[in-house]
Amino acid sequence: MSFEGKTALVTGGTRGIGLAIVRALRRGGARVVAITKSQEQIAIFHKEFAEDPLASAELADVRDRKSLEAVRDKLTQLDILIPNAGVNTRTKALELADEPLREMLDTNFYGVFLTCQIFGPLLLKKPGGRVVVTSSMGAIHGLDLRAVYTATKAGVSGLVRSLAIEWGPMGATVNAVGPGIIETPLTRAYMDEFPERVQATIDNTPLRRLGSPEDVADVVAFLASDGARFITGQTIYVDGGMSVGSAWW
């Protein structure tokens, strides 16, 4: 998959799945701009890509229109848009406080919509644009203690279908990936605390392993490539088969 001459933007692109996506697109030759709201993450990103002039990071919050517009105004071209930034809080629905509730709604859905709305006009300047949103297996597979998270991801997959209809006539495809249980720096602490849940995940995944950020990034790269030129409006679940069902019964 070649992305030579193309420019990509990845929100939440300095760690976990987002960073793996940046690496995959760079391997294909794209110029990649990663967005993060953490100055510390920018410093870490710059260390990895210190000798790579085609990888850069910008400070912005996907919940803040002006900060996203400031990044957009620095770009002269955009071919691939990856709204990836997301957050999650595990707690019972009846006990979820307002602050984490708003953070999930504003980051996982509003932030994705805002990213598409602000960068869409630049992407749609010419045919061939690619949008790949990070949804979740939770969009179709209920998860305990994650009612709001799964609701936002279901909303994101719905958004993808509608944007595919709106933007298809202008030559752009809009798809999503739905990661399953992926081992990242953010999930590692949870896994270390509850190893029995890790084993239960493996036991209930047909491919009998956890996912890696690279498993997701490779699918994102495909959807961003010319090989996926006739695929749009879809959410591709990268979950080792967990969401299709299980054999426990």
- Domains along the sequence of the chain with CATH: 7-181+214-238 (3.40.50.720)
Pick from 94, 110, 113: nearest CA to 102: 110
Diameter of the chain by CA atoms? 55
Distance from C-alpha of 244 to C-alpha of 237, rounded to nearest angstrom: 9
Residue 51 has a pLDDT of 96
Residue pair 124/170 in contact (Cβ under 8 Å)? The answer is yes
Residue 247 has a pLDDT of 80
Residue 232 has a pLDDT of 98
Residue pair 37/64 in contact (Cβ under 8 Å)? The answer is no
- Both tokens of 100, joined, read 């984490």
* CA triple 213-30-6, angle to 5 deg: 130
Residue 222 has a pLDDT of 98
| Residue 149 annotated in active site | yes
Q: Give the residues across from 9 on adjacent strands.
A: 33, 81
**Which of the residues in the chain have pLDDT under 70?**
249
Catalytic residue among 110, 149, 190, 237: 149
Residue pair 173/225 in contact (Cβ under 8 Å)? The answer is no
Residue pair 231/174 in contact (Cβ under 8 Å)? The answer is no
